[in-house]
Amino acid sequence: MGYDLKPSPFAPERFPDMPEIAGATLFTTASGLKYQGRDDLLLVLLEEGTAAAGVFTRSATAAAPVHWCRRALRESGGQARMLVVNAGNANAFTGRAGEETARITAEEAARLVDAAPQQVQVSSTGVIGEPFEASGLTRHFPAMLAGAPATWEEAARAIMTTDTYPKGAAATCTVNGKQVRICGIAKGSGMIAPNMATMLAYVFTDAAVPAPLLQKLLAEVVEETFNRITVDGDTSTNDTVLAFATGKGGAKVEGDDTETLSVFRKALHAVCLDLALQIVRDGEGISKFVAVHVKGAPDEAAARAVGMSIANSPLVKTAVAGEDPNWGRIVMAVGKAGVPVDQQKLEIFIGGQLVARNGAVVPEYSESAAAEHMRGREIDIAVDLHMGKAALTVWTCDLTHAYIDINADYRS
């Protein structure tokens, strides 16, 4: 790689402690497909009876692995025996050759565990438009499955591209007196504006959850977590979030048990939100983490539109990078969101300080206080539309010259 990946200022001191998930075994290796001297291929072996669910990019140029996963989940009835993930090549916009690579990868993996190909989920991440032979991955499968299992951290590192640190999260909850474990790993740093960047996330639980219910829960949680982050406003061809429920922990989560469902959903949400925020905190070239709060919207869709308009604005993001409390750029971003706004009602806040209302800056606004807030690493922007009761938060980062450096040299 020709770009210089400096560690994110928000990188955690260490990878989190994550328990094993009964029924899921991890394996990694260095395929040499793109990278040298590092693992870039992940296999997860799943025991029979594992339920699977997925949420994928809405990009019109979705990658071959996304097409495969959608069909496989449908045709298998939400059953899975293996997950295969490679880093360095996205297998996107690679035509029929790419579709064949995804199919053969799944077939070869399935053969080794005596499963149907549709029970194998396949993901890829990396450079777009460069075909590769499935054998570059499949020739490693037998040795991987015969070798020692990998740790969660090793698995998270194997799927990284421009990430500067591996991302993992875990949560536990109690369902009907039995402990449930949920663990997740993710990768993502640039091309992040999930619309279900390059973003991949995999969540595993030892609870027994029927596939239709797991799909419903995952879709809801993704909308509240991964779909509320943005680094650069670009939705990837490969965005994928997959969830697997092995059922080997003894606890059952069922749709007609409201209390159990709520407890499990809360834990699943916690893992996904943790991973989503880690992705933003590792945004390419990041120097500041930004939370954008929107309230007083007529509905959630309007709140999201306003929030994402602010979070994706290059002018807002560069102002944050330059530590300039230029609130006029926030006004601009609200106005272009496509949501009707009454300027006399709109309120803008920076770092909790009221900046503007009644269509103008307030007399007590302190630019020096706002500038001091902007010099911090954690930036807080809020707007109140005073048009309803809907509210939500989206998360983003600043836009620095380092982002340009990384992406100008990405293919070298």
Give the DSSP per-residue string, 270-303.
HHHHHHHHHHHHT-TT---EEEEEEEEESSHHHH
What architecture (CATH level 2) is domain 289-408? Roll (3.10)
pLDDT at 366: 97
pLDDT at 233: 64
pLDDT at 197: 41
Write down the pTM of the prediction. 0.92
> Which residues in the chain land under pLDDT 50?
1-3, 191-192, 196-197, 412
pLDDT at 220: 96
Query: End-to-end CA distance of the chain, in Å?
Result: 5
- Within 31-160, strands assigned E span 41-56, 79-89, 120-127
Query: Measuring CA to CA, which residue among 29, 34, 76, 75 is closest to residue 412?
Result: 34
- The boundaries of every CATH 3.10.20.340 domain in the chain are 289-408
Position 246, amino acid: T
**How far apart (Å, rounded) are the C-alpha atoms in residues 262 and 265?**
5
- The boundaries of every CATH 3.60.70.12 domain in the chain are 24-281
What's the token pair of residue 159?
A: 């799927």
Superfamily the domain 24-281 falls into: L-amino peptidase D-ALA esterase/amidase (3.60.70.12)
State pLDDT tens for residues 301-328. Answer: 999 999 999 999 999 999 999 999 999 9
Alpha carbon dihedral 226, 230, 231, 233, in 10-degree steps, equals: 130
β-bridge mates for residue 347, sequence order? 384
Name the residues annotated as catalytic: 198
What's the token pair of residue 345?
A: 């009602």
pLDDT at 2: 47
pLDDT at 196: 41
pLDDT at 412: 46
